[in-house]
Amino acid sequence: MRFVICMPAFAADGLLSPRSAEAYSLPMRGAGMIAMVCAVGLCGLAGARPALAQQNQPASVPKRCEPHTVIQVQPKIIVDGVSFTGEAHPPNLSRDQMIALIGQSAAQSKTEKFTKVWTAVRSAWRQQGYFQAVVRVTPRLLSSGPGWKKVSFTVYVDPGPRYKVGSIRVVNTNAASKLIFSRNGLRKMVPLGWGDVADPEKIHAAIAAMAELYTRHGYLDFSAFPVVHIDNRLDRVSFVLELDQGRQYRIGEVKALGLPPLLEKALHKAFLHGEIFDASSVARFCHKEKWVLLPPLELAAEHIERNQKDATVRVLLDFRRCAKIPPPDATTSSSLD
């Protein structure tokens, strides 16, 4: 018998990274302790800041001129029946709520395999501590037409034992350096304690919050690795969060494209040479100056260049595809006043 556990990898912005579902298959050893390391890379900055800027985007945004883009419209998914074999739903959800969750996930699926349905069902069980839940989702196409598909699902779930939290520790992988933030403070960012239901998504949320904290203070290379110890005899799960803080980066050079002189002056006042580089500062600048970053503009790797030798960053910001949001009235003052 083999034990399969899957923990998604998160980027520094809290979004799923390209390694969004890493599965680890480990042999079961009865009541023995199983240790598994799930590598979670958290230093990626691609797309992080535009995502933050879009949260502040007003309801009405001027259109921008862009090359013609072909948009493929996904067919509408109509779920006509869900049958369960094994357990139908976790303790916190009713059968109807589970069916609604499956319907929502099916509507968001972009492939005929409906992997989002499997992910949603499995996540619902894992959030309730069922780490070993075995989930199988079988879709069946009933009929289809132009722009729509009618499907049904058969869902099988073997939840296995329900695990509770044992211990949670935060450790520094570099013994030669001290943690920048207090160990106790970092531990409090994990909203789980001894005896709580072992919810892996709360662990991931805590790691994402730590990554955001560190990148705001210039630690762009920060990464975290949750080591999971499962005790099948006691049905307990313990976590060790191994932190690699990396180096602290400061601002070396800032260049901008597409900004008028007045705003370019404000930009250089906001990013002073030698100051600690805050990875979220670009979004705050755009919001303050009433600029909104619109997709597909992203602060990709080529826009933030790291100099490992002197621990500085060169920032290139391209505002040529940004929309300028006009002030609500003529009396609005500039941040340079």
pLDDT (average), residues 55-63: 40
| Band (8; pLDDT cuts 50, 70, 90) | very low
pLDDT tens by residue, 272-331: 999 999 988 877 777 777 766 555 444 433 478 889 899 999 988 877 766 665 555 544
**Mean per-residue pLDDT of the chain:** 76
- Does residue 222 or residue 299 have the better pLDDT? 222
What integer pLDDT is reported at residue 35 of this predicted model?
38
Residue 74: pLDDT band by 50, 70, 90 thresholds?
confident
pLDDT of residue 293: 57
pLDDT of residue 265: 84
CB 175 within 8 A of CB 183: no
Predicted TM-score of the model (pTM): 0.67
pLDDT digits (tens, 9 = 90+) for 97-155: 999 999 999 998 877 789 999 999 999 999 999 988 999 999 999 999 998 999 999 99
Q: Are strands 304-307 and 312-318 parallel, antiparallel or unpaired?
A: antiparallel
**Distant-in-sequence, close-in-space partners of 27: CB < 8 Å, separation ≥ 6:** 1, 2, 3
